[in-house]
C-alpha cells in the first residue's frame, strides 16, 4: 500500500466506498449466521441456557452485523484513503480504480496463513498439556461434522474479524496519529497499530476460553499468544497488501486449524 510522506486528501467519491461497505456488511451478515453451528459445538451449555431460540439470535446478530460492520467498513475505507490502507482489489473490481502492482499477492497470503496455522498448532502442542481440565467441554462431533462447522466458521474469522480489527481498528489508530502529525506516519506507527490490534484480537477470544477452561494464567497466555501471532501476520498483510490479502490469509489459517486438523486428528481444532 502507499507510503507517501504528506497526508493525501481523500478524493475517492463517497458512493464508491458506500458500494464496498454495503457489500462487506452484507457478506458479514451471512458470515455471522454461518458461525453459529461452530459456536454451538464448542459452547453447547451456553446455548442451552438461551432465553430465545438459536434461530432468533442468529437473525438478530446478522442484522446487527449488516449495520455495524457496514458502518465500520465505511469508516475504515474513508480513513484508509488518508493513510494508504484499504481494500485495493475491491476498489479496482467495483470502482475501476488503478491497482498497484505489488498489492494483490494471493499465493503469498495463502502461504502466510498456512504458516501461521502451523505455528499455532506447534505452540498448542507445547502449551495444551499445561491447561486445566475443561469446565465446559465442546459437544462431541465426528470429524466430518467438526470440519464442516469449522469451514463455516472460517468465513466469520476471515471476513468479520478482519473488518473489525484491521479495516476499522488498525486504520483508526494510524489515522488518529496522522491527524495529529498532519503527515503520513512512519512505519513504527503502523507496527504499533498492528500490535495493538493483534493483542485486542487475542483478548476478543478470552470469553470463549473462559467458558471452556476458565481464565487461569496459562489460559490467558495461550489465548493471547496464539491469536496475537495470527494478528501480527494479518496486520502486516493488511498494511502491505490490502484488506483482501489479510482476509485470504486469515481464511487459509482457519481452514488448516478448523477443517484440516479435525479431519486429520478426528476431533476439534485448537
Q: Summarize pLDDT for 26-36 with one digit per residue, the tens.
A: 999 999 999 99
d(CA 193, CA 111): 23
Does any domain span residue 218? yes
Q: How far is CA 188 from CA 85, 108, 112, 177, in A?
A: 15, 23, 22, 11
Does any domain span residue 4? no
For residue 2, what pLDDT is reported?
46
Does any domain span residue 140? yes
CB 227 within 8 A of CB 205: yes
Q: Cβ–Cβ contacts within 10 Å for residue 222, how many?
A: 23
Does any domain span residue 160? yes
Does any domain span residue 8? no
Does any domain span residue 118? yes
For residue 270, what pLDDT is reported?
66
CA distance from start to end of the chain: 33
Count structural domains, the chain: 1
Does any domain span residue 162? yes
Does any domain span residue 7? no
- Of 185, 184, 189, which is closest to residue 6 (Cα–Cα)? 184
d(CA 91, CA 89): 5
Question: For 140, how many CA atoms within 13 A lie in the half-sphere containing its CB?
Answer: 0
Query: Which residues of the chain carry a pLDDT beneath 50?
Result: 2-3
Range of the domain at 143: 14-265
For residue 84, what pLDDT is reported?
94
Global pTM reads 0.92
Amino acid at each position: 500500500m502507499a507510503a507517501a510522506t504528506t497526508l493525501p486528501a481523500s478524493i475517492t467519491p463517497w458512493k464508491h466506498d458506500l458500494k464496498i461497505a454495503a457489500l462487506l456488511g452484507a457478506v458479514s451478515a451471512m458470515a455471522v449466521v454461518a458461525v453459529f453451528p461452530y459456536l454451538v459445538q464448542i459452547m453447547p451449555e451456553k446455548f442451552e441456557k438461551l432465553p430465545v431460540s438459536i434461530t432468533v439470535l442468529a437473525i438478530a446478530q446478522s442484522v446487527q452485523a449488516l449495520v455495524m460492520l457496514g458502518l465500520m467498513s465505511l469508516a475504515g475505507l474513508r480513513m484508509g484513503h488518508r493513510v494508504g490502507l484499504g481494500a485495493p482489489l475491491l476498489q479496482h473490481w467495483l470502482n475501476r480504480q488503478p491497482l498497484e502492482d505489488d498489492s494483490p499477492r494471493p499465493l503469498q497470503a495463502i502461504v502466510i496463513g498456512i504458516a501461521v496455522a502451523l505455528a499455532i498448532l506447534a505452540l498448542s502442542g507445547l502449551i495444551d498439556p499445561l491447561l486445566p481440565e475443561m469446565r465446559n467441554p465442546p459437544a462431541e462431533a465426528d470429524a466430518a461434522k467438526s470440519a464442516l462447522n469449522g469451514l463455516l466458521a472460517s468465513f466469520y474469522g476471515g471476513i468479520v474479524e478482519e473488518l473489525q480489527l484491521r479495516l476499522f481498528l488498525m486504520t483508526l489508530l494510524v489515522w488518529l496519529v496522522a491527524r495529529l502529525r498532519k503527515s503520513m506516519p512512519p512505519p513504527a506507527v503502523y507496527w504499533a497499530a498492528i500490535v495493538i490490534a493483534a493483542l485486542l484480537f487475542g483478548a476478543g477470544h478470552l470469553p470463549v476460553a473462559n467458558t471452556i477452561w476458565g481464565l487461569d494464567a496459562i489460559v490467558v497466555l495461550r489465548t493471547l499468544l496464539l491469536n496475537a501471532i495470527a494478528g501480527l501476520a494479518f496486520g502486516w498483510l493488511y498494511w502491505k497488501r490490502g484488506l483482501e490479502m489479510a482476509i485470504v490469509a486469515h481464511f487459509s489459517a482457519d481452514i488448516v486449524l478448523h477443517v484440516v486438523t479435525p479431519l486429520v486428528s478426528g476431533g476439534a481444532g485448537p
